[in-house]
Chains A and B, each alone.
Chain A
């Protein structure tokens, strides 16, 4: 039996989509199911649907790629989060604000075991702030031994001087054993202490969630009688192996939009363009550069907490297919509320009483949907609401393109017809077939990546170290399933470190390649 089929699943806020592709990337089955509050049954529904649609061919499924909002939801709903002991190294600096002090109370209550600020850390130029307080660290770790699920360690200026975090990790394993989960801040974010620390703590709080996602998905897969490899989508548009995902669960946050962008690239063959993903409640604009999402350096707020880890650069507006229209014909009010799931019961075209933008599209003749006509009396208001929504979309396009009107626009997502063909600010508009499941397709066609990072001194061994690092990153991508013939280094970031003696850089290398045949 050839295992030449793969399933892409995208669990979004409103819908869970699944698609099955063969090795020539032909779509063999697809579905769009409602996301359920337990997430798992929605995923099960979607997977069961496509497996049934394939019939006996389902035995050819060799891989399942999952993009999911589990991690985001866990933070937003303060559910299933692990208990974290947060350690900051850098005293006497930074004592004025404790770790998690600025967090919303309920999130801190859900996550925080205890915090401490110990001596350690570095100045911007690599000088020590103070010697690492190893005794203090051991004492603190002993005090949380029974209560903490994970440890988050953040040292001042660790993005350029990571050694105290590395040493602290050794001490954690000495005191609490090798099984205690640890997150180091320099592996998560950049300069900006509180934002990096917040992202580090959230990552540590998500170890349990990602474990549950992985085992639940494996159960669903096993329940369907399949034996497959599983990969998780991350927010740079590539797939990660399960062991990497278990270390960096926060990287699943933002994987949905990244998948949409990659799916849009695949469906159109375009590598540089604007992508708009129109959902039920909101619309995300992103930019594809050489086939991958443009990334943002700005701080991102998650669940009321400011963070600074890598994310796709997105512009979101509160307009979607389910957006509720109110106000008058002269002054329509468009959103921000949406009927969401209830489009099929509450919208005018479904016989409901709530006018939505989908009703406006049907009334304009741009979409055929529903079994009820839009009442005559609503037509004028819906028309002007659609006009106003189009203006907001054009404004957003202007902002995300930075005024460069030469790029094409790819419209995907369930509500993509909200984007007219003649919208201003782009060279032309594409509505690719199957664009409504672009995110699941993006997960299914994604390349798999592997990483290597390390600190390398300039000098004779610099090039050799880089060559080694690149080889390790490629090997890890291959171990995760990449085709050894095609895998290549796709990103190499050098951050100069501030050591006083010899010039040194922190090197992060990412290799990626398409999945090899099973």
Chain B
């Protein structure tokens, strides 16, 4: 399960498909403003690309792509980005996640909401992606450190 596969078909397919899946993940993340999609779905697709590499080229060889010892830290950073944006909005005088009260005064309030939502979605994407990778690595119970 953790080793590299011996089938060249599976390895070539996995190595070729993982960047395409991650590119679709980034597209879904940025598409959340205009249609179906958003941070959670984009993060799941980004994690799916990494997990495909974990399963095809082996857990040890895919450490150069996303290292297992950094995923939990990045998950915490994503949560801090999400909650921190809301708390900064509270400190600015608004409600939780009220983007119009963020301390970015050179922007129109509409654009402030636009970029605020994008920033929060960035935190969700980072958290979901690295959280799912952490769950997979923890199920495998391999000590990468």
A-B complex is real: no
